[in-house]
A = this chain, B = another copy of it.
Amino acid sequence: MVYATADATAREKLRVGMVGGGRGAFIGAVHRLAMRLDDRIALVAGALSADPANAAASAAELGIAAERSYGDYHAMARAEAARPDGIEAVVIVTPNHLHAPVATAFLEAGIDVICDKPLSTTLAEAEDLVALARARRRKFVVTLNNTGYAMVRQAREMVADGALGRLVAVHGSYIQDWLTRPIDAEGHKQAEWRTDPTRAGQSAVLADIGVHAYNLACFVSGREAEAVAADLFTAVPGRRLDDNAHVLVRWSGGARGTILASQTSPGHYNDLSVRVYGEKAGLEWHATRPEELRFAPYGEEARTLIRGGHGSTEASRRVSRMPAAHPEGYIEAFANLYRDAADIIQAHRAGAAADAAQESLVPDVVQGARGVRFVAAAVESDAAGGAWTPASLAVDRDAS
């Protein structure tokens, strides 16, 4: 077995800039850990904070040259587009409501986009971004990072290869406990913006974690929701947005299922999982034990497939750095997205033909928009007393 540990220093690095992610921000630092692991990304510019002092200090800490630390993202898009050594892609790690305007600015400047999830806080923005990315022929990666796990990719491959037969049921779930108490009303900054309708969107729990469960279920099953019936609710009195969502799903291709999301479930930290059942087999994956994939062919005993182990396939081996049972985790999965993103963007900029297989593994603006569409449909269904509500994206409907 050849591990994906080959060093990449000699390859030309992808030049990126970051919007958001200054000192004190959480997800920006996670992106930087992921960027560094495989040495394929050079962070050379940034508009790291709306606060100028924080922006400058953060840039200095990160080794970004002072003249490429910008006070706002518009200036950054303009200036970088004009430089011969300007960034090839922007990494967007702002609060949710800024994803769309920032991405728009860079797309219009001809710069590719790597954007955290959710793609946007409104469906209209999401659809506009799909259209704009296509019109400008720009690459647009949405870091729905769980798709980077080796065993998630293997699960997707097994489903696609027919190991489960015709699919019958697909379930996704993301359960946390961190909002069990009203910490958003007590000054917790991360909790505050995530439960603020003006910054998080229409549904807090779906925008924050539900889209991960939905996207994971889509990615593994190869399906999209055609319709949803949702029950959204707020467990903590006084909270401004929902913190729990129970959603019934009718998937494209005929399977049914559920998407559950909760931020008020003591005993769970980041308990993301997917279960897929087909007429020939079932499989199950949990983000808390990401190296393991449970696979049960009908009529045989259930097996525990281990990343790098005897039952691993090409899909997981390609992104394995370590032998079996030397566990890889969240950062490695995130780094797999960055490695693929670097390949895809560099190839595109070099005018090379796309590697369709690789591109299918990396969530793009359409997948991002599907997540936003799902949230909007669930909110609409809930408001309509749980009525079945269409959930497919216009671009998918057109394609089918």
Contacts and interface: CB of A to CB of B under 8 A. Distances in A.
A298 B29 contact: no
A386 B229 CA distance: 8
B256 A246 contact: yes
17 contacts: A5-B26, A6-B29, A10-B60, A30-B322, A36-B37, A168-B235, A177-B296, A248-B248, A266-B298, A268-B282, A268-B325, A269-B306, A269-B325, A287-B325, A301-B310, A302-B306, A303-B304
Given A10-B60, A181-B298, A266-B299, 19 more contacts: A3-B29, A7-B32, A9-B63, A30-B322, A169-B262, A169-B264, A181-B279, A236-B279, A258-B260, A266-B278, A266-B282, A268-B296, A268-B325, A269-B306, A270-B325, A288-B291, A301-B305, A329-B329, A331-B331
Nearest to A308: B269
B256 A244 contact: yes
Contacts of A280: 266
A324 interface: yes
Interface in A133-184: 168-169, 171, 177, 180-181
A390 B53 CA distance: 58
Nearest to A36: B36
A269 B299 contact: no
Most chain B CB inside 10 Å of its own CB: which residue of A282, A302, A306:
A302
A265 B301 contact: no
Contacts of A229: 229, 231, 248, 386
B10 A63 contact: yes
A271 B324 CA distance: 10
Given A327-B290, A330-B328, A267 B244 contact: no
A74 interface: no
A266 B291 CA distance: 18
B328 A322 contact: no
A262 B277 contact: yes
Interface string A243-279: 0101010100000111010101111111100000111
Given A246-B258, A328-B330, A311 B306 contact: no
A190 to B, nearest CB: 10
Interface in A88-125: none
A287 B30 CA distance: 23
A327 B291 CA distance: 10
Nearest to A283: B267
A267 B270 CA distance: 24
A230 to B, nearest CB: 8
Interface in A1-38: 3, 5-7, 9-10, 26, 29-30, 32-33, 36-38
A226 to B, nearest CB: 13
Contacts of A267: 277, 281-284, 294-296, 302
A300 interface: yes
Contact of A326 (B6, B9, B304, B329): B329
A301 B297 contact: no
Contact of A61 (B10, B299, B301): B10
Nearest to A309: B269
B168 A244 contact: yes
A110 to B, nearest CB: 28
